[in-house]
Amino acid sequence: MQQQFIKNIPFSQALSMQGLIDYQPGKVVSLTLSQRLDFNMTLFAFEKGEGISAHSAPGDALVHILDGKAEITIGDEKIIASAGEVVVMPANIPHALDAIERFKMFLVVVKPSV
pLDDT tens-digit profile of 29-57? 999 999 988 899 999 999 999 999 999 99
Which residue ranges make up each domain of the chain? 27-110
Banded pLDDT at 2 (limits 50, 70, 90): low
Q: What angle do CA 53, 57, 60 make, to 5 degrees?
A: 115
Banded pLDDT at 5 (limits 50, 70, 90): confident
- Calpha distance 4→25 (Å, rounded): 32
Look at residue 20 and give its three-state secondary structure: helix
CATH of domain 27-110: 2.60.120.10
Do 59 and 78 touch, CB atoms closer than 8 A? Answer: no
- Residues 6 or more apart whose CB falls under 8 angstroms from that of 44 comprise 21, 28, 29, 30, 31, 104, 105, 107
Do 61 and 109 touch, CB atoms closer than 8 A? Answer: yes
Q: What is the pLDDT of residues 56-105, one digit of tens each?
A: 999 999 999 999 999 999 999 999 999 999 999 999 999 999 999 999 99
- Calpha distance 36→104 (Å, rounded): 22
Q: What is the pLDDT of residues 8-22, one digit of tens each?
A: 888 999 999 999 999
Task: For residue 106, give the nearest of 34, 1, 13 by alpha carbon.
Answer: 34
Task: For residue 91, give the nearest of 111, 108, 66, 113 by alpha carbon.
Answer: 111
